[in-house]
Structure 1
């Protein structure tokens, strides 16, 4: 059972990274479209939010845990 659980954990990690990449790709595509369509403010807000959330998630995952 532990082997199956480890397989599910690994699958979950891989799928999470794939879906996160697809989400970021789609969001940045929307930003590029908005910028090309003349909605620079919308593109700026969306782009900043997407980049900020990716950086936040990266820092949160890679931060060493205190005491444990």
Structure 2
């Protein structure tokens, strides 16, 4: 019986760490050819944001409609 309890605790810890990792890394950034523009993808909702930072400081991001698919890294 103690082995089953230990296995359940380990399984719960693995599932909890996976959930925290998935929620913590909500946004994925993609570089663009120009240095002042980047794309953010919200993995939770699937929305794509186009962010621009022409000068140093905070970037301004607006929701943008994108078509097509994102290629995987090789």
| TM bucket normalised to smaller | 0.3 to 0.5
- Report the TM-score when normalising by structure 1: 0.42
Higher strand content, 1 or 2: 2
| Structure showing the higher helix proportion among its residues | 1
TM-score, normalisation: structure 2: 0.39
Q: Which has the higher contact order (CA 8 A, sep 6+)?
A: 1
